[in-house]
Structures are given as C-alpha cells and as structure tokens.
Amino acid sequence: MDFILLSILKTAIAAPVLLGTLAYLVWIERKVLAHVQLRMGPSRVGPHGLLQPIADAIKLLTKEDFIPSYVNHVYYWLAPWLALMFAVTAISVIPIGPIVEIFGVKTNMGQADISIGLLLILGLTGMGVYGIALAGWSSNNKYSLLGGLRSSAQMISYELPMALAIASPLLIVNTLNLREIVNGQAGYVFGIIPNWNAVGGLQMFSFLIYLICAFAETNRIPFDLPEAENELVSGYNTEYSSMKFAAFFMAEYANIITACSVATTLFLGGWHPIIPNELGGQFIPTLICFFFAGVLFYHALNPARPSDRLSMGVIGAIILGLGLMFQVPVVKDLAQPLFWFASKAGFLIFVFIWVRGTVPRFRYDQLMRFAWLVLFPAALLNLLLTAFVVAAKSN
Amino acid sequence: MDVILFTFFALVAIVGAVSLVLQKHPISSALSLVSVMVALSVLFLLLGAEFIAAAQLVVYSGAIMVLFVFVIMLLNAGAERESRKGGLAQFLGLPLTAILLVFASYVITQSMSNAKAVKFGAFTGGGPREVGWELFTRYLLPFEVTSILILIAIAGAVVLARKEID
C-alpha cells in the first residue's frame, strides 16, 4: 500500500506542476519569439504579460464548443483527448533526480522507475499520432485530412532515424532503464569534462539526429507540415475550437517537454552537474540566482518607472531566497538535481523556440527526402560505427 | 489486484476483437484492433514479459496499425455495405465457434494440466537482456532466417512499387 500511496502523492505534486509548465510554455514561446522578431510580446495582462496564460485558459474554457454538423462525432470528440493522454503519460517514466530520502521515506525523483522506460516512451509517443490522424480524418474536411495524413506519414518516417539515433548511446550504457542510463553518464573525464554521451565522440551525431527527429515528431517548425497555415488553413485542428483545440496545443507542448527530457537523460547526463561538485558545481545555481537578484536590485535602485522600485526589489529578494535555498542541507539534495535537469531540458526547449523563430518551413517532398535519404543512412552509419567502437573496446 | 487487472484487460481485448468484426467502417475496425493490441501488451506486462509488452506497443499499435489507419484514410474507404448473408453461415456460425472454443480450451487444459496461476512480479525473465540473450544464442538461426525473410519482403515491395511508377 505504501507504494500506491507514494505514487498518488507524487502524481498529486507532478500533475499541477506539469500543467502549469504547459500553460507557461505558451507564454515563454510567445515572449522569446517576440524578442527574436524585435517585438514586445504579450504585455497587457499582468506585469510583462505574466497572467496571459490564465486569461487564455479562462477564454478557452468559456468559449462555445462548436461542433460542425458534418464531422464524425465519436472520433472528433476522442481525438484531442487521445493526443493529450499519450503525450502526458509518456512523461511519467522520466527520472528528474536520483533516489532521495525525505523524512525517512526513500523514493526516486520521478513517477515510475521501470526496466523498459525508454521503450515505453517510444511506444506512447508513437500512439500519439492516432490523435492527430483521427482529428484530421473525423473533421471531414480536406485540409484537415491532408494535415492528418501528412502527420502520420511524417511520424512514421522520422521514428526510424530517431530509434536508430537512440540505439547507439544505448549500446554504450547497455540498459533501457532511464535511471541507469543517467547514472552511466556520471563522472568526469580528466576530472573536469562531463562524461555525457553528447560530449565528444560519435554520440554528438546521435544527439543531432535525435534532435532533428524530435522537431519532426512534435510537429514543430521547420517540420510543421501537418499544420502549415499558408497551405492547409490550420491543418488537422482546423475544425476544432475551445478546450478541444487547447488539448491539441497542450499535447504539442507536452510532447516537446518529453522529447527534451529524453534528450537530457540520454545525451546530457540527466541531473548531473556540468562541473563536478568538488570544483564548485554545487554553487552554480546559487551564483546564477545571486546574479539575477543583483541585476534586479540595481534596477530597483535606479528605477525606469516609479513602480519598479517596489516590484524589482521584491522579485529580487525572492530570487535571492531561491539562491540561498540551494544551499540548505535538506532541501539541497532535492533542489540541486531538479535545477540541473530543468536547466538542461529548459535550454533544449529554448532551442526549439529559437529554431521556430529562425528557420523557414520545409516543402513536403523535401521533408520526406531528407528523412529517408539523409537522416536514415546517417543514423544507420552512426549506429554501425558505434557498434564497431563498442566491440573493439570490449575485446 | 492481478485478477482485477487481468479480467479488465482481457475483457477489453475480447470486446475489441468482437467489435473489430462487427464494425461497418474500416477505421472503426482498425481502431478496435489497436485497442486489442494495447490490451494484449498490458496482459504481457502482467505476466512479467516486459520487453514483449513494449515491443507489442511500439511495433503493432505504434507502427503497423498507424500504417493501416494511414492507408484507410488515404484511400478514403467508406462504410461497408452488408452483403447477402449465406444461409449456412447464419445457422452454423455461432455453434461452430462455440465448439471450436470448447475444443481449444479442452486441449489447452489437458496439455498444461500442471500449470500454476501466474502472480504479478513472480516471473522476472522477460526483460530486454534475457530476450536478447536467448535470441542471439539459442535461437540464433531462426532469428537470422527471419531477418533474411523480412529483407526479401522489403526487396519485393520495392520491386512492386517501382513497377507501378513505370
């Protein structure tokens, strides 16, 4: 019973945090894109538009849920929730920290710690395509259908190089359990360079191939052909409105979080710090927080607007407290791994948004040719070379 | 707990299988098959065959059935019309099915009379490591022969597709 109780408790903590992150990812994406394009981004609702996600949620919840008369009702209703369900459940097997002990209870940070973690993520994200394909088909609209078809073709094509790219670091770490994969990357070469899969050697290419495929799997620019606005109106979600439409968006962001978390665990050493703790790695989170607090205090002392004197000072004090929290003995064991995992995954998510602001969309035939004639052979060659290296080392 | 989970997912599998046959629309049939595959993968997991459960999910419901749904959507197949029912099939269908099921369950209970009930977590030899070890030692020849068979099938598909283009 302890296990069930603990799982419920962890889910009760993780689910609201995840949903909040999904909502605020929209805000972060809009802000980053705006600054890439020299705009301000959302700035009306709350300071710096910080309450925008809440306003969006209220709008989407209260909006009329219009269902066109010509759709296939069962699948039209089922599709967005299928997409969201598989996208969110895939996150449950990702370990965000080591095994910790809180109040005498020993538990792993993360929901489930299973021996086939990585395969389960591949399976669940593969199931996510049904949501999009069904949405396109049941909408009974040729633009939606084209979007759904493109999405399924694209996901099948890009799943192959992605699986091959994942397979080559697996040859090195020799396990499918995500926790053991992360622990296999612990330690430092020459005591300073992190022993991550993505740092040095062939696995850099695996990391690159995986990242490119992740863009395609999550339907992001430059591979967002399923919802190419200037060809397909809005693709598979053209006929959707209110919460069903929001479910597709939440599924897309949940998929991005999953893809970035998997990249972090497989290639970037999970929760291990970038500099060894003995050389001061454990002080980095505190120093970063102190830096930002210093910037905010500077602006509080030299305010551009009269209101800045209070707001900048208060937020600066909060961040200062956050920085001190990383050194409190009990909280430290929990907060430090979380910080490293979140900052690595967060950086990758930032790269996703950055690419969206920089790279134009592919044409459909280019997308397919790139997958089959460039990525697939490259991933295969990478796997073959890795296998040779591993075989040579073991002999 | 084992019994509840087993009963639930076995029921899902059976209902999905019956619905696969009864549905008029090909998309509905394909999705019923997906639900059967997912329920089967959970049953494998309950038996302790972790790797096979994951493979079932990744290969069957994640790849093959997506391809099925894709083709059905691409051809834009509509609902099937009911064909004229053969008189013989109408009368003998259900009794023959019942006889087959009884016969099959009799054979299975006879051949495995000393089988014990499975408990969740009792069998731990179904992980990726064990399956891989068996595949590359004891079953190496069947494994390689199967891979050559698949290679021939792929070559055949390429040849057929090329003929269509010319």
Instruction: Please report, for chain B, the start and end positions of each structural domain, with discontinuous segments joined by +.
Output: 2-81+122-165
pLDDT averaged over every residue in chain A = 84
CA distances from A349 to A91, B86, B87, B92, B159 (A): 15, 60, 63, 61, 42
The yes-or-no verdict on residue A232 having pLDDT over 90 is no
- Shortest alpha-carbon distance between residue B110 and chain A (Å): 35
Contact list, A129 vs chain B (CB under 8 Å): 62, 66
Task: Let me know the angle formed at the C-alpha of A154 by A153 and A159, rounded to the nearest 5 degrees.
Answer: 105
CB A255 within 8 A of CB A87: yes
Q: What is the ipTM of this complex?
A: 0.77
By residue count, chain A amounts to 395
Q: What is the pLDDT of residue A377?
A: 92
Alpha helices in B48-121 (DSSP H): 50-55, 65-75, 87-111
* Percent of chain B scoring above 90 in pLDDT: 19
Interchain proximity A126–B57, CB inside 8 Å: yes
The yes-or-no verdict on residue A1 having pLDDT over 60 is no
Confidence of residue B85 (pLDDT cuts 50, 70, 90): low
**Is the minimum CB–CB distance between A334 and chain B shorter than 8 Å?**
no
Q: How many angstroms separate the CA atoms of B7 and B2, rounded?
A: 8
**pLDDT tens across A266-319, in order?**
888 888 888 777 777 778 888 888 888 888 888 888 777 777 777 788 888 888
Contact list, B42 vs chain A (CB under 8 Å): none
The yes-or-no verdict on residue A258 having pLDDT over 60 is yes
Nearest CA in chain A to B45: A116
Contact list, B127 vs chain A (CB under 8 Å): 115-116
Secondary-structure class of domain B2-81+122-165 per CATH? mainly alpha
Interface test mutation site (partner B, options A115, A121, A132, A171, max chain B beta carbons within 10 A): A115
**Is the minimum CB–CB distance between A140 and chain B shorter than 8 Å?**
no
Find the mean pLDDT for residues A187-200: 76
Alpha carbon A93 to its chain's center: 14
The yes-or-no verdict on residue A368 having pLDDT over 70 is yes
The yes-or-no verdict on residue B148 having pLDDT over 90 is yes
**pLDDT tens across A52-92, in order?**
888 888 888 888 888 888 888 888 888 888 888 888 888 88
Q: How many angstroms separate the CA atoms of A168 and A203, rounded?
A: 7
- Shortest alpha-carbon distance between residue A116 and chain B (Å): 7
Interchain proximity B55–A119, CB inside 8 Å: yes
Task: Let me know the angle formed at the C-alpha of A348 by B55 and A144, rounded to the nearest 5 degrees.
Answer: 65
Least confident of A101-115, A216-230, A256-270: A101-115
Burial (CB count within 10 angstroms: exposed 0-12, middle 13-18, buried 19+), residue A328:
exposed
Residue in A116, A126, A133 nearest the CB of B50: A116
Interchain proximity B57–A153, CB inside 8 Å: no
Interchain proximity B57–A137, CB inside 8 Å: no
**pLDDT tens across B95-112, in order?**
888 899 899 988 988 887
Interchain proximity B31–A130, CB inside 8 Å: yes
Q: What is the pLDDT of residue B36?
A: 92
CA distances from A47 to A52, A225, A308, A311 (A): 10, 35, 11, 9
Residues 6+ apart with CB under 8 A from B76: A145
The yes-or-no verdict on residue B164 having pLDDT over 70 is no
Contact list, B54 vs chain A (CB under 8 Å): 116, 119-120, 122-123
Residue in A127, A137, A155 nearest the CB of B27: A137
Phi, psi (5° rounding) for residue A256?
Answer: -65, -45
**Widest CA span in chain B:** 60
Residues 6+ apart with CB under 8 A from A88: A18, A250, A251, A254
In one-letter notation, the amino acid at residue A321 is G
Q: How many angstroms separate the CA atoms of A125 and A112, rounded?
A: 17
Q: What is the pLDDT of residue A381?
A: 92
CB A267 within 8 A of CB A210: yes
> Per-residue DSSP letters for A278-329?
GGTGGGHHHHHHHHHHHHHHHHHHS-SSTTHHHHHHHHHHHHHHHHHHTTSH
Find the mean pLDDT for residues B135-141: 89
The yes-or-no verdict on residue B134 having pLDDT over 90 is no
**Is the minimum CB–CB distance between A116 and chain B shorter than 8 Å?**
yes
Alpha helices in chain A (DSSP H): 2-36, 52-62, 73-89, 117-127, 129-138, 142-173, 178-183, 203-217, 229-232, 242-267, 284-301, 308-325, 329-358, 364-369, 376-394
Question: How many A×B Cβ pairs under 8 Å?
Answer: 75
CB B45 within 8 A of CB B19: no
Integer-rounded Cα radius of gyration of chain B: 20
Contact list, B62 vs chain A (CB under 8 Å): 122-123, 126-127, 129, 159
Contact list, B33 vs chain A (CB under 8 Å): none
Q: How many angstroms separate the CA atoms of A272 and A107, rounded?
A: 18
Least confident of A27-31, A98-102, A313-317, B3-7: A98-102
Phi, psi (5° rounding) for residue A99?
Answer: -75, 125
CA distances from B123 to A12, A268, B50, B118 (A): 31, 34, 10, 8
Rounded to two decimals, the pTM is: 0.85
Residues 6+ apart with CB under 8 A from A31: A41, A42, A48, A49
Q: How many angstroms separate the CA atoms of A349 and A353, rounded?
A: 7
How far does chain A reach from its first CA to its final CA, in angstroms?
A: 47
- Shortest alpha-carbon distance between residue A140 and chain B (Å): 11
Q: How many angstroms separate the CA atoms of A110 and A17, rounded?
A: 13
Residue in A114, A127, A152 nearest the CB of B70: A152
Find the mean pLDDT for residues A338-351: 89
Q: Which residue has the higher pLDDT, A1 or A372?
A: A372
